[in-house]
Amino acid sequence: MKWSRRSFLRNLSLGFFGAGLTKSSFPSVSPPLKKEDIKGDSAKLLVKSPDHPQPAPKGVDRLPLSWYQKRVKRLKERVGERDVDVIVLEDSWNMTYFSGCFLTKTERPCWCVFPVAEEDIIYWFSPGLDNELVKSWWCTEMNYYYDYPHAKGGYPDKGKVVKGYRVDLFEWFLEGMKKKGFADKTFGFDSEFTPSRMKKFKKVLPKAKVVDISDICMKMRMVKTPEEIALIQRAMNYFSQIHAFGRDYLLTRGTDATDFEVAKACEEYGTNLIMQDIKRDGRPHNAVGIRVRIGCRTGRGTAYPHPNQFHHNKIKKGDALQIAGIVTIGGYGGELYRYFQLYPWDDWREKVWEVVTETVRIQERESKAGVTCAEVAYKVHKFQVKQGKDIQRLLYQRVAHGQGMEGHQPPFIALGDETVLEEGMTFSVEPGLFDPVNGFGYNPSDCLLVTKKKGVLMGSVPYSKEWMFLKL
């Protein structure tokens, strides 16, 4: 069948009408507000806990090189227990955490190497597009391939334009290790080898050994140092101000807005708020690890833990609404979600809200060093189940995940995780309840710091009806 533009548009129109999607189905909204038009004093309701750690001061926008070198020294001590001679990092989060060089990981392989017996020595085997970033940070020696896939001898930047033989980059890296004199050493890789990979390893380095050190790397990343915690607290302080702005925006804009508009307004405000304090000159290694990702969803979209639809919905009276996201500085920060209920509401929604809010308090009280993740999860879920079958059917997810540079990291506040909590661990706070039948849900989150006596919520946004039950 031959399609004309006219027939295409006609059929498209019929498709919309057939699905019940008329022009009036789409939200009609007025232009978004300017910052100066937003009224409100939500910031006055923010509650800074006396248990909050001291935040990193302005000017300390990332961890210094000396911090990373100390962590590598500690890593060497740990892997020494497994007789490792050479540490090889290839996981992007491990490379960032231990080297401090924030690289964008794609399909291009990259390896960061620390010889255990040599202090502050770091070798890079990386793609050419990262050359300037690698050389200008912590780099003893850089070896690079032009790009992926790499042709043998092909370096256009050196005037060598060739095509043909595709280099196996893992074998290329191993050959580099042989040239360094590591042919008979024990390598600690931050990953478990597949049989095909081990075959390549033995082909190039038949006398060498491999040890998986991924668990050591993750354990070090799970327990945050005071310097990391200070950066997290600074990020969470900004995030709390972003939430105050978002609440004011809702109260000012009311039902003229979409959830998409609220999200973008918060994201722009938050970015400007943070960046006015960040020292930067356009060169690499400053203004790194900064994320300001804010989302908002209203109405039925709140009824699912991980909805898959795009959120561009008109805010309506009676909606449940969520402002959520993640904010980081220098790679450190966390989640901060708040759930709203817009007037009018009923007793059922109030009950669900009260159960969610109490489970946040349970997780906060129980998250102390020495207990297991499963114990905390058990107490939260027991409370939820005790509220009756109507609440039980709203249970869809574990209580929380560990929070790190990558967002989700082990351990997990879940019934199947027997990891013992330690001071310095950080978690999300997500004992949410979801009601697809009635089209609403309440999902909290925060960044919770484990201490000796309890968990400390690092956000300053209150879990109160005054904050979350709104009349627009």
Closest to 285 in 3D by CA, of 228, 221, 328, 330: 330
Residue 387 predicted with pLDDT over 80? yes
Q: pLDDT tens-digit profile of 229-255?
A: 999 999 999 999 999 999 999 999 999
Distances (CA, A) of 112 to 117, 136, 322, 359: 16, 15, 40, 42
Average pLDDT of the residues in 335-349 = 98
332, 235 Cβ separation under 8 angstroms: yes
- List pLDDT tens digits, range 52-80: 999 999 999 999 999 999 999 999 999 99
**What value does the mean pLDDT of the chain take?**
94
- The pLDDT assigned to 23 comes to 47
Q: Summarize the confidence of residues 297-322 as an average pLDDT.
A: 97
Q: pLDDT tens-digit profile of 398-451? A: 999 999 999 999 999 999 999 999 999 999 999 999 999 999 999 999 999 999
Q: What tokens appear for 71 in the block? A: 């962590």
Q: Residue 346: its pLDDT value, please?
A: 98
What does the DSSP assignment read for 14-40? HHHHHTT--GGGS---PPPPPGGG---
pLDDT at 256: 94
pLDDT of residue 297: 98
pLDDT attached to residue 37: 79
Half-sphere exposure of 431 (CA within 13 A, CB side): 29
pLDDT higher for 452 or 4? Answer: 452
Tokens 């005790």 appear where?
A: 386
Is the peptide bond preceding residue 431 cis, with omega within 30 degrees of 0? no
DSSP string across 355-401: HHHHHHHHHHHH-BTTSBHHHHHHHHHHHHHHT-HHHHTT--S-SEE
In this prediction, residue 181 carries a pLDDT of 96
Which pLDDT value is given to residue 164?
85
| 138-142: long-range pairs with CB below 8 Å, 24+ | 138/65, 138/68, 138/69, 138/99, 138/100, 138/101
Tell me: the pLDDT tens digits for 31-41? Answer: 677 767 788 89
Residue 17, classified by CB atoms within 10 Å of its CB into exposed (0-12), middle (13-18) or buried (19+), is: exposed
Res 392 pLDDT > 80:
yes
Q: Tokens 């009349």 appear where?
A: 471
**Does position 7 have pLDDT exceeding 60, yes or no?**
no
Q: What is the pLDDT of residue 16?
A: 38
Question: For position 15, what pLDDT does the model report?
Answer: 45
> So where are the chain's domains?
29-57+223-470, 65-221
Q: Which of 10-19, 75-84, 238-247, 265-274 has the lowest mean pLDDT?
A: 10-19
Banded model confidence at residue 86, pLDDT cuts 50, 70, 90: very high
Over residues 149-180, the pLDDT tens digits come to 999 999 999 999 999 899 999 999 999 999 99
Going by the DSSP 8-state scheme, the letter that residue 61 receives in this structure is -
Report if pTM > 0.85: yes
Rounded Cα distance between 355 and 346, Å, is 15
For 408-423, the pLDDT digits (tens) are 999 999 999 999 999 9
pLDDT (0 to 100) of residue 20: 46
Looking at residues 446-467, what average pLDDT do you find?
98
pLDDT at 314 over 60: yes
Mean pLDDT over residues 115-120, rounded? 96
Q: Under DSSP, is residue 316 helix (H, G, I), strand (E, B) or coil?
A: coil
| Class of 65-221 in CATH | alpha beta
The CATH superfamily assigned to 29-57+223-470 is Creatinase/methionine aminopeptidase superfamily (3.90.230.10)
- In this prediction, residue 32 carries a pLDDT of 72
pLDDT band at 8; cut points 50, 70, 90: very low
Query: What's residue 2's pLDDT?
Result: 47
Average pLDDT rounded to a whole number, residues 250-276: 97
Work out the average pLDDT over 302-331. 97
pLDDT for 30 equals: 63
435 pairs with which residues across the strands?
440
